[in-house]
Amino acid sequence: MSHPVSPLAPKHQPALPPIAGVRLATAQAGIRYRGRTDVLLVLLDPGTRAAGVFTRSKCPSAAVDWCRETLRGGQSARALVVNSGNANAFTGLKGRESVRLTAEIAGKAADCAPGEVFIASTGVIGEPLDATKFDGVLADCAGRTGPDAERWAEAARAIMTTDTFPKLATRRVRLGGAEVTINGIAKGAGMIAPDMATMLSFVFTDADLPAGVLQALLTRGVAKSFNCCTVDGDTSTSDTLMLFATAKAGNAPVASVEDPALAEFAQGLDDLLIELAQLVARDGEGARKFVTVEVGGATDDASAHRIAMSIANSPLVKTAVAGEDANWGRVVMAVGKAGEPADRDRLAIWFGDVRVAVEGARDAGYDEEAASAAMRGDEVTIRVDLGLGAGAARVWTCDLTKAYVEINGDYRS
């Protein structure tokens, strides 16, 4: 199934530069889709280190289990295999067999141990994934891999399910006397897609950094990016974000995540993760408006984040945005239901720059017309000040439209 490209899609796709030690190729394995690529193979030079963060679901996919175990066994990475069309989630023993076989086939193709192969799957849940389909396909891919921009674009397309546009981002930063590159691709948006297609993102860099530093940077970065992005509040079984560093940049060694020499790299990585997370929200199913929710004045940042998520996940707030309705009463509701410290009589609310409520009541200068105008663009900002403390948070989401219901309700009927 394909849908019209989101009106929130970026006008231009960036051309990603090569990263020393990273080569990519895609293929059609015919897992579910016809007439499109559905497999990505990334070959990583010896010395590449990996870090990853995965879904907090209590029912994770077989691929997520594999990646977690493999990272525990060691951070050396030589290959990444991603397929779309089948999530290999909730497939029981068969699913575990399937990832093991995939790792063996990829290991042969990449001339490495299965324990150096990372795997991600996205698409239908509950369907057994026939890994024998990778036999031959991955060996063929290995012979065709390349480092150029077109390969990155192909890679971003091959992992799409119901995404309406490929998601790519790149940064170039200084690190320990060297220029280093960070490339990233992503697909999906949490549980936006039918049959539990999932959020997957893969970031690559030529930086030479210890695995522990990579993991610390990624864990810190995801809290400010993907964990601040929601479409429907439905957490997937397969969310996967991985960072691969090939250590080819020749930068001076960095011992710890606290090393000031990391500052620019960390900033560049955070920016890239935020850009990818926003692209994911911009492709939310049925999305017509990109929504930024900013919460300030909370007792602490965690409390601000929970309140921001309560607003961003409220069906009534999201439908109001879809209807270009400056319905701040629903924002009050969402603040109230979050269960976090809040004092109705200190609450202030803005749509865009228009303050609609202050001190627990409608703003005396409230102008319905100005507020409505702030809802009309395809980017809407909802700002809340709780007036309690210094806690702040920012999250991104999209509106809830009939198209969301249509896409998710009519899919198999």
Between 27 and 338, whose beta carbon lies closer to a second copy?
Answer: 338
Instruction: Work out which of 29, 182, 191, 304 binds a second copy, going by CB under 8 A.
Output: 191
Q: Which is nearer to a second copy, 246 or 408 (CB)?
A: 408
* Residue 180 CB coordination number (10 Å): 25
Q: Annotate each residue in 53-72 with x if it binds a second copy (CB under 8 A) or - if it does not, as one string.
A: --xxxxxx------------
Nearest distance, CB of residue 97 and a second copy, angstroms: 12
Nearer to a second copy, 44 or 388 (CB): 388
Distance CA 90, CA 92 (A): 6
Q: Among 92, 136, 365, 377, indicate the residue that binds a second copy (CB under 8 A).
A: 92
299 binds a second copy (CB under 8 A): no
* 138 vs 298, beta carbon nearer a second copy: 298
What is the rounded CA–CA span in Å between residue 406 and residue 376?
Answer: 23
What gap in Å lies between CA 99 and CA 369, rounded to an integer? 56
Rounded Cα–Cα distance for residues 276 and 225 (Å): 8
- CA-angle at 149, arms to 155 and 87, nearest 5°: 10
Q: Per CB under 8 A, which of residues 340..359 are in contact with a second copy?
A: 340-345, 347, 357, 359
Can you tell me whether residue 408 is helix, strand or coil?
A: helix
Residue 158's SS3 state is helix
Quote the DSSP letter at residue 154. Answer: H
Q: Which residues are annotated as a binding site?
A: 161, 187, 198, 285, 408, 413
Distance of alpha carbon 83 from alpha carbon 70, whole angstroms: 18
Q: Half-sphere exposure (CA, 13 Å, Cβ side) for 52?
A: 30
How far apart are CB 389 and a second copy at their closest, in Å? 15
Stretch that binds a second copy, among 148-156, 187-195, 249-257, 267-275 (CB under 8 A): 187-195
Residues 124, 272 contacting (CB under 8 angstroms): no
| Residue tagged 């960070």 (tokens) | 182
Q: Which of residues 104-143 bind a second copy (CB under 8 A)?
A: 124-127
The pair of structure tokens assigned to 104 is 């063996």
Q: Which of residues 213-252 bind a second copy (CB under 8 A)?
A: 232-237
Binding-site size, a second copy (CB under 8 A) = 74
What residues are paired with 245 via a beta bridge? 49, 205
Active site residue 198: yes
199 binds a second copy (CB under 8 A): no
The distance between the two most distant Cα atoms of the chain, rounded to a whole number of Å, is: 71
CB neighbours of 69 closer than 8 A, spacing ≥ 6? none
Which residues contribute to the annotated binding site for substrate? 161, 187, 198, 285, 408, 413
Show the site string, 376-395: x = touches a second copy by CB under 8 A, - = not: --------------------
Cβ 156 to a second copy shortest distance, Å: 24
Least separation in angstroms between CB 394 and a second copy: 21
Kindly tell me which residue out of 327, 355, 374, 380 binds a second copy, with binding defined by CB under 8 A.
327
264 counts as binding a second copy under rule CB under 8 A = no
How far, in Å, CA of 112 to CA of 42, rounded?
13
Catalytic residues: 198
